[in-house]
Each structure stands twice: as C-alpha cells, then as structure tokens.
Amino acid sequence: MKKILFVCTGNTCRSCMAEGLFNSAVSADNMLAGKFSGSSAGLAAFEGDTASSFAVQVLSDEWGIDISSHRARKISREDITGSDLILTMTQGHRKALAEAYPEAADKIFTLKEYVMDLGKNAGSGRFADSLDILDPYGMPLNVYRECAREIKNAVDILIEKLKKEELG
C-alpha cells in the first residue's frame, strides 16, 4: 500500500482535513481502495490535540466525513521514511522538510504544486494565485469552509492523477 502524508503546522486544521478528504475519496473509489492510505502530521504539532471544531464541522456538514477522533501528532523521521509521497500545505512547510530530510526531498511537494504538475503549468489553472493553502486557525467558520473547499479541489485532482498513474 502506498502511503501519502499530508503536512501542515499544527495538524489540527489543514492536514487533518486533507487526510479525511483523501481517505474518504480513496475508500469510495474501486480503483484506489486498498492501494493508498493517507495520514497527517504537523511540523509544530502538540501531540494529542484534537482537530479544530470548525474543521470537524465543515467536513461533516459538507461531505459527511467524520474527523472528530483525529489526534494531532508531530512529524517524525519514520513518517518521512515510511511515506511514498509527502504533500505540504505551504511552500514553507516543503522547504523546512526538504532541509531537515534532504534524502527525501524528491518526494516532498506542496499539495497544489503536485496536483498541477507545475513544471509545465506554472502560473495557470485554478491554483495560479498561490501554491500555499492558507491556515484557517483561529479564523471564523466561513474561512475554514473556504480552506476545506480548496483542499477538496486539490484532493479531487490528486485522486484523478493517482488513477492515471495506476493505469500506467
């Protein structure tokens, strides 16, 4: 099984929403179910923190996905070595991980750059504004909703990309 790790700062908002959205999409897809699993971690997570109540609410309200049992965890070397692909929420996260784990730099991307194959699509498409998914922490519910939709958009493209790769 191929493992995809989603990374943000505290592992209570963006990366756990990405994990929930990804695992839900994979389990619903006959081609990918059982072949991929998603997990998440944070660069500065406080072990055991719960997912943000707004993150839980948005995923439940919008897509019926329950991440209420999520517990934050700080990224570890085992996460890096055990993941086939590492997708960060910002360029800063990507840079920090690539510097800390240079041996894994070739499998670390921002979520947006990975789904857009940015070598040829830079500056175009629906993510042209930024490669970063901004942190909704401490913001109102509508900001979490916008953030979750942005992540969902990227995860949907990721699912299609993985399906194409599976087909060869």
Catalytic residue among 14, 79, 94, 147: 14
Catalytic-residue membership of 135? yes
In single-letter form, the type of residue at position 20 comes to G
Over its length of 168 residues, how does the chain's per-residue pLDDT go in tens digits?
999 999 999 999 999 999 999 999 999 999 999 999 999 999 999 999 999 999 999 999 999 999 999 999 999 999 999 999 999 999 999 999 999 999 999 999 999 999 987 544 444 444 446 899 999 999 999 999 999 999 999 999 999 999 998 887
* Token duo for residue 106: 């070739």
Q: What angle do CA 42, 38, 35 make, to 5 degrees?
A: 160
Catalytic residue among 8, 13, 16, 147: 8
Determine the pLDDT at residue 44.
96
Catalytic residue among 49, 132, 135, 156: 135
Element (H, E) at 59: helix 53-63
Do the beta carbons of residue 162 and residue 31 sit within 8 Å?
no
Catalytic-residue membership of 49? no
pTM of the model: 0.93
* Nearest residue to 19 via CA among 115, 155, 164: 155
Catalytic-residue membership of 132? no
Determine the pLDDT at residue 127.
46
Do the beta carbons of residue 136 and residue 147 sit within 8 Å?
yes
Determine the pLDDT at residue 123.
41
Q: Which domains does the chain have, with CATH numbers?
A: 2-167 (3.40.50.2300)
In single-letter form, the type of residue at position 36 comes to F
Determine the pLDDT at residue 129.
61
Determine the pLDDT at residue 166.
84
